[in-house]
Amino acid sequence: MRPIDLQQVISDMRSQLAPVVMCQAGYVFVNLEKLPAHEALQAQIHDRVESGVIRPLTHLNDDDVAVFYAAERPVPPERRRRQKQQTMFQLNTL
């Protein structure tokens, strides 16, 4: 995975039309100006924060954009595929 520039993504989020952007590195960027129009999305974010799935990065938040990170590191798709194949192989050999 390529490193990302969090400040650049935060700047880009101010001009985005989407209320929430999730990246593969496990960060969730929330455009606070666009979010009030999406009540279901607000509830979903609130539930995930309450359950500990995502956590806020308070030092990166500003008036327009809130930043959260995944509590557990995301598994890259290739590794997930390999794990699934290994599990399937183990099931077939039993």
For the chain, domain boundaries:
6-93
User: Cα angle at 74 between 71 and 76, to 5 degrees?
Assistant: 170
55 with 68: CB under 8 angstroms? yes
In residues, how long is the chain?
A: 94
- Single out the residue of 43, 72, 59 nearest to residue 10, CA to CA: 59
> 10 or 65, which is more confident?
65
Per residue in 18-62, pLDDT (tens digit) is: 788 888 778 889 988 888 888 999 999 999 999 888 999 888 777
Q: Is the pLDDT of residue 93 over 70?
A: no
Residues 75, 77, 50, 58, Cα dihedral to 10°: 70
